[in-house]
Structure 1
Amino acid sequence: MKFYWIKTNAFLKKMFSNYVWDIPNKGNSVYLTFDDGPTPEITQWTLLQLKKYNAKATFFCIGNNVDTNPELFNLIVQDGHTIGNHTYNHLNGWKTKTEEYIKNTKLCEVQIKNQKSKIFRPPYGKIKFQQAKKLRQLGYKIIMWDVLSADFDTLITPENCLNNVISNVQSGSIIVFHDSVKCFKNLEYVLPKTLDFLKINGYKCEALF
């Protein structure tokens, strides 16, 4: 079983302070994010849950999925959510040459054009120093996370996935979910209950930047 932090370690945030890990605020705002979409059926379901709670979120989209599902992408935009870049082919930065990585990110940017924010999340959270530096030079903010739901982990129960979120969320948290087939078993259980928990406890779900 691979190790990952559910609550991002404070030392890691300090070490990589050029990345955005959370957005501290006094307004009790939190930031739900969804990686890897748009995905047929799952994106529509996710948007419906968010709409029920008047919640805004940020979708870090894979360019190839936008290219394949333009109507779903347009639904995300029409509902007032923020769009982020997640590369065109979901590249692992540690295994990809910097020139190729930047080229692939720019290809995704073409698909998500006309978005007011230039925000980027590296797939798997893996990015080299030079890749990050070049992306910042292109005007991107690199968005990581404060709380990982671990919905991608097929070995955990939906109940544990929910506990990952509600036991660690605080004002300013950036929370990671996934808009994908693989994660839907957990997401289907966790997202409505998370939204309910946040509402009951006075949190407001906002989109990034």
Structure 2
Amino acid sequence: MLAFPVKIPIIIKRLFPKYIWEKTFSNKTLYLTFDDGPTPEITEWTLNTLKQFNAKATFFCIGDNVKKYPDILHKINQEGHSIGNHTFNHINGWINKTNSYVNNTEKAQNTLEKELGLEYFSTKKLFRPPYGKIKNKQARQLIKKGYQIVMWSVISYDWNINLSGKDCLNNVLKHTKDGNIIVFHDSIKAKKKLQYTLPKVLSYYSDRGYSFKSL
């Protein structure tokens, strides 16, 4: 059973209006996002694939991975993509105390700022909660600290071992609409399905006149 529906219902978006779920009036624009990197085994392949379609995206990075692979983080930045925070240790907000969760997020932010500089985050601090699981109190504290909490419109489920690459592709093609934020993962677990799905998604929507922008 999937933790979330592939496409987030309108009622959920209305219950949490302070979160970013999609962009409206985007004029045939989609927003690809990648969680869990940077990962040597797949992030650079992802960057090269995006470049083939002149596509920009947003990478929600785990602080510990940033610390291990700063060169890949800088490559993401140099190629014109946006970078957001995905906590330091990929922790689940539902099972962590608020202070621990906020501190872990801040630890990741400090790591990102050390690499990219404070100026990079002067206009926006993007944050996506791992698993999409965050308590209201945690969210309120992060918003007070200037974070924009970015959720999604459509999730590919590329990390799910019970789904095939074709399943993940169908998840995206069946449910995506203009202005949607789509979740992929540049992780080892998702590698094979991402390599199957991403080029086909880019090709399909490029052929139909869509562009891909970062948040």
Give deviations 1:32-64, integer Å, cap 9, x for gaps: 000000001301100000000000000000000
Map of 1:94 onto structure 2 = 94
Q: Which residue of 1 aligns with 2:191?
A: 184
Query: Cα distance 1:62–1:26, how it changes in 2: closer, same or farther (>3 A)?
Result: closer
How far residue 29 of structure 1 moved from its aligned partner, in angstroms, is 1.0
Aligned mates of 1:50, 1:149 — CA distance in 2: 17
1:3 Cα offset (Å): 3.9
Residue in structure 2 matched with residue 140 of structure 1 by the alignment:
147
Unaligned runs of 5+ in 2: none
The C-alpha deviation readout for 1:93-149, integer Å capped at 9, x for no partner, is 001110011111111001111333201000000000000000000011100000000
Check if 1:156 corresponds to 2:171: no
Is 1:121 matched with 2:118? Answer: no
Pick one of 184, 209, 212 that aligns with 1:205: 212
Quote the Cα distance in structure 2 between the aligned partners of 1:98 and 1:60: 20
Offset of 1:168 from its aligned partner?
1.1
Residue identity matched to 2:29: S
Alpha-carbon distance in structure 1 between the residues aligned to 2:26 and 2:104: 37
Could you report, residue by residue, the CA deviation over 1:54-75 in whole angstroms, capped at 9, with x for unpaired residues? 0000000000000000111111
Pairwise CA RMSD of aligned residues? 0.9
1:48–1:132: structure 2 CA closer, same or farther, 3 Å change rule?
Answer: same
Task: Among all aligned residue pairs of Structure 1 and Structure 2, give the percentage whose two residues are the same amino acid.
Answer: 49
Q: How many residues align?
A: 208
Query: TM-score, normalization: structure 1?
Result: 0.97
Aligned partner (choices 167, 175, 179) of residue 172 of structure 1? 179
Q: Specify every segment of 5 or more residues in structure 1 that has no aligned partner in the other structure, as ranges.
A: none
Query: Structure 1: how far apart are the matches of 2:30 and 2:203?
Result: 13
| 1:123-179 CA-partner distances (Å, limit 9, x unpaired) | 000000000000000011100000000101111111111010011111110000001
Amino acid at match of 1:195: L
Change (3 A) 1:27 1:130: same
Whether contact under 8 Å (2:41, 2:188) holds in the other structure is no
**SS of equivalent residue, structure 1 residue 80:** coil
1:26 Cα deviation after fit = 4.0
Q: Which amino acid aligns with 2:140?
A: K
2:175 partner SS: coil
Q: Does 1:32 align with 2:39?
A: no
CA displacement at 1:2 relative to structure 2: 3.7
TM-score by length of 2: 0.95
Residue of structure 1 aligned with 2:202, choices 172, 187, 195:
195
Q: Distance in 1 between matches of 2:129 and 2:25?
A: 24
Counterparts of 1:55 and 1:129 in 2: how far apart (Å)? 33
- What's the secondary structure of 1:112's corresponding residue? helix
